[in-house]
Amino acid sequence: MQEYFIIGYWKLINSLEIAVILYVVLSVILAIIKKRNYKKVKKLPFGKMALEFLFLWYVCAILKITGIIGLTFGLDFRGGELGCLFSVPFVGNSIKMIMLNFLLFVPYGFLLLFVFPKIKWNWKFALLIGACSSLVIELLQVVGGRLCEIDDLITNSCGVLVGYLLAQSCKRILLHEQAKKGVIQGMVTVIISGFFLVLISFLANGDVIQQQMDEYYNEISNDNALEDIIVFKIYNGKKELDVAHCSEYDWETWYRWMGDSIDSNASFYKWWSENAKTSDIIEQQDNTYIEIVFSNNQEFLLENNEDWTLEHIKHLLYCIEDGNFWYGSKEDTLEYCASYEDIENAFQIDKNLLEEIQEAVRE
């Protein structure tokens, strides 16, 4: 989970600029409607202003993390995106992602109590605010072409509620009058939250399912296959570059990209028998090819196409421009051809990687 916290940290940092702009705009609006006089600096509520900015900054970070900021919205709305709102919650989901969503909204609920002190808060209203905030985010994701999930709606709302209860306990401790009650409330909130997450973990078996899938599927980009590579060549036109076990080129990254590309697009491939040689294929089109020969026969089970198993793979030739590839069990012959055939979506080329490989060949 460490990588998710790192990503969240950078999302928070990247949200600072837009938060500053929004807060300046908000301050101008407050000055215009005479809700705040910025001329009398000594009378400015700097503590409240700092909390307001912190709250606005965190809201921007949430919108950045959930993808709302930067999402491309459209009018191509289909009811299917709302289907997950009516599914059984948590079943098959990842407990890690549930915990992260829960923790993401705790500070949001915590800050609400201090930023809006004049509101008559109670746990029901806090839960309602959390549910409404989460629902708005989920609906915006739908308009942006993503799914609306009941799991997120529940965990986000509970996160806001827990944040509010912790803020309430802190407020009681700071007031000293109800310090003991505040400590007890804080401890009970943390314990119940932990129990809630443990209870959900019995339903959220997505991590276990993913682990089982990872153990079963042996995809092309796996490390064992990488260690068995004895030939790794690049062809571009009439130029040829042999880079196997050469530290000068980052050919391991090239291999992983090729493997990930085949794995992710496996459902779009059609394959048939075709006895051919590498020289015959690369002479037909002026494309860039990766040729790989393994020391041992490989077997690849592709997660995105359970009906397709690549068995006894010794030799593989991949075209970077169109994703088509050839494979076989002999070093000198390619016995099968696999063609990318998704009519609706053209094959996505990594242009930077293609230029990097082509430049290596030209040198």
- The whole-number average pLDDT for the span 1-20 is 88
Q: What per-residue confidence (pLDDT) applies to 142?
A: 77
Q: How many CB atoms lie within 10 A of CB 249?
A: 17
Q: Are 334 and 281 in contact (CB under 8 A)?
A: yes
- How far is it, in rounded angstroms, from Cα 142 to Cα 308? 33
**Residue 160 binned pLDDT confidence (cut-offs 50, 70, 90):** very high
Cβ atoms 274, 336 nearer than 8 A:
yes
**Residue 326 near residue 287, CB atoms below 8 Å:** no
Q: Which residue has the higher pLDDT, 147 or 253?
A: 253
**Mean pLDDT, residues 197-222 taken together:** 74
Residue 75 has pLDDT above 80, yes or no: no
Mean pLDDT taken over the chain: 86
Q: What pLDDT is attached to residue 77?
A: 52
User: How sure is the predictor about 304, in pLDDT bands with cuts at 50, 70 and 90?
Assistant: confident
Percent of all residues in the chain with a pLDDT value above 90, rounded to a whole number: 38
CA distance linking residue 134 with residue 57, whole number of Å: 17
Q: What is the mean pLDDT of residues 7-13?
A: 89
Taking 3-state DSSP, the helix, strand and coil percentages for the chain, each rounded to the nearest 5, stand at 55, 15, 30
pLDDT score of 191: 95
Tell me: pLDDT of 82 over 80.
no
For position 125, what pLDDT does the model report?
Answer: 95
Per-residue tokens: 341:
């055939």
Quote the tokens at residue 112: 């609400």
**Better pLDDT: 303 or 162:** 162
Count of beta carbons in the 10 Å neighbourhood of residue 221? 17
Which residues on neighbouring strands pair with residue 319, listed in sequence order?
Answer: 289
Q: Calculate mean pLDDT across residues 147-168.
A: 91
Q: Which residues contact 75 (CB under 8 A, 6 or more apart)?
A: none
Report yes or no: 239 and 283 within 8 Å, Cβ to Cβ: no
